[in-house]
A and B are shown apart, each in its own frame.
Chain A
Amino acid sequence: AQSVTQLDSQVPVFEEAPVELRCNYSSSVSVYLFWYVQYPNQGLQLLLKYLSGSTLVKGINGFEAEFNKSQTSFHLRKPSVHISDTAEYFCAVRMEYGNKLVFGAGTILRVKS
């Protein structure tokens, strides 16, 4: 069965500092990978996704993620965070043949001024 591990439950960071949110998955077959963001009192919104091709994926709001097949990782990065990036971030994986997403437990990013 697939599983997704988000290694940090909370990440505090100062404004304008870089940040990396880590995600590892377990699957023996090809997968599609997603990062979603949830702002307070809202539903989830897609940040970016990896389907195939270039392993570096750029998303909205200046976020990017790198797919590493050998390490089964899909870490999310932003070079300079803003207060408005404070939210919970979810990594999700979907098998190549299937329509179910498996989500990680989430990482709360707290940006401090």
Chain B
Amino acid sequence: DVKVTQSSRYLVKRTGEKVFLECVQDMDHENMFWYRQDPGLGLRLIYFSYDVKMKEKGDIPEGYSVSREKKERFSLILESASTNQTSMYLCASSLTSARGNEQFFGPGTRLTVL
């Protein structure tokens, strides 16, 4: 079974801090994704990566950056955390961009910015 793990389930940070959220997948998937989930808004794509060192902006990239130095690891970085970035963050991966390939999700990191 595919396993997607996220470094923390819960995280509390202060405004202005630099925050790193880590995601690791163990099935050699090409694509990796970061979403944020907010009540009533569903999941919104922040960034995705289709290969090592490659990234593309999603729908809401402002205030975030990403890093993919190794195929299995995809990091989301909040350069200067703000209270409006309090949210649930979900990482996902998929094998390729071929049709119908499902995305596999990690358990999520609930981030609170005070």
Contact = CB atoms under 8 A, between A and B. Distances in A.
A11 interface: no
A49 B4 contact: no
A96 B103 contact: no
A43 B92 CA distance: 9
A101 interface: yes
A44 B31 CA distance: 17
Contacts of B78: none
B52 interface: no
A49 to B, nearest CB: 6
B61 interface: no
A106 B42 contact: yes
A99 B41 contact: no
Nearest to A98: B97
A15 B108 CA distance: 29
B42 A44 contact: no
A42 interface: yes
A100 B48 contact: yes
Given A42-B107, A43-B107, A106-B42, A96 B102 contact: no
Contact of B106 (A6, A32, A43, A49): A43
23 contacts: A6-B42, A32-B99, A41-B107, A43-B105, A43-B106, A43-B108, A44-B43, A44-B90, A44-B103, A45-B105, A49-B100, A51-B99, A92-B43, A99-B31, A99-B50, A99-B97, A100-B45, A101-B45, A103-B35, A103-B42, A103-B44, A105-B40, A105-B41
Interface of B: 4, 31, 35, 40-45, 48, 50, 58, 90, 92, 94, 97, 99-108
Interface of A: 4, 6, 9, 32, 34, 36, 41-46, 49, 51, 90, 92, 96, 98-101, 103-106
Given A46-B103, A92-B43, A105-B40, 9 more contacts: A32-B99, A43-B107, A44-B43, A44-B90, A49-B100, A90-B43, A99-B101, A100-B48, A100-B58
